[in-house]
Amino acid sequence: DRGGRRLNWLWQYSKAEIRMFFPKATGPAAKAGYMFQVSTFQLAILMLFNQDSGPGTGYESADGPTLTFDQIVAATELDKDIVLDELALFCKARVMNSNTANKATEKSQYTLNAGFKSKQMRINLSRAKKSDQKKEAKDMQRAVAVDRSASIQAAIVRIMKARKQLPHRELIQATIENIKLFHPQVTDIKQSIDKLIDTGYLERDENTRDLYKYLA
C-alpha cells in the first residue's frame, strides 16, 4: 500500500519455465532435459526437489529426494488445498510419484518420477489450472469492488462532513472529483449513498427527497 494505492499480485496470470532433468531419461531428454511451463505455485513446489534449494533427504539417490506433504507445505507456505491440488496434477501427469498408489494425499511422500518420458520436449502443466484462474480472477474482481466501495463511501463522508448538506447531483459530481485513483461509476456512488443512509451517516430531507444531510 503506497500513497493510497494497493498492489495485488495476480498469481493466476504468473507463468514460468523450468528445465527438468530426470535421472533415467534417455535420448535427447537425457542431455537437454524437458522444458515445463508451470504456474508460480507449481514452480515453488518443483524447486523443492532441486538439490541446491530443497529441504528433503535422499538427493544422492537415483530417484532423487523424497519430500512429505508437510515439508512441501512448510517450505512453500502455500495453503494445504493448493499444494494438494498441484501434487495431484503432478502425479496425474506422471511427473511425480507418491507412496500411496500414486495418489496425492496429506499422508503421502513424494518423489520425482525418475523414469518420466514424453514425446514432447516442451510440456505445459499450467493449462490444466484454467478453472482455478477464472475463480481467482473473479475473487480478485470482488475484492477490488469492495475496496472501491469503501473508498467511495469515505469520499462521500468527507464531502458531507464539510458541506453538511448537498443535492443529489452535486454530491455525485463532488464524489467523482474527489476520487483520484479510479473513476467511480454513478451507479456505485448511488449504492454507496444508500449504504451510508442505512448505517446512519446520511439522511434524506423530509421535504426535499433529492437533498442529503450529514448526520454527525
- List all residues 6 or more positions away from 43 whose beta carbon is below 8 Å from its beta carbon: 16, 18
Q: What is the pLDDT averaged over residues 160-174?
A: 95
pLDDT of residue 8: 72
Model confidence pLDDT, tens digit, residues 91-113: 999 999 999 998 999 999 999 99
Give the confidence band of 130 by pLDDT, cuts at 50, 70, 90: low
pLDDT of residue 83: 94
Q: What is the pLDDT averaged over residues 33-42?
A: 93
pLDDT of residue 185: 95
**Mean pLDDT score of the chain, rounded to an integer?**
86
| 209 compared with 87, residue with greater pLDDT | 87
| Cβ neighbour number for residue 93 with a 10 Å cutoff | 15
In Å, how far are 22, 75, 115 from 111, measured between CA atoms?
11, 16, 11
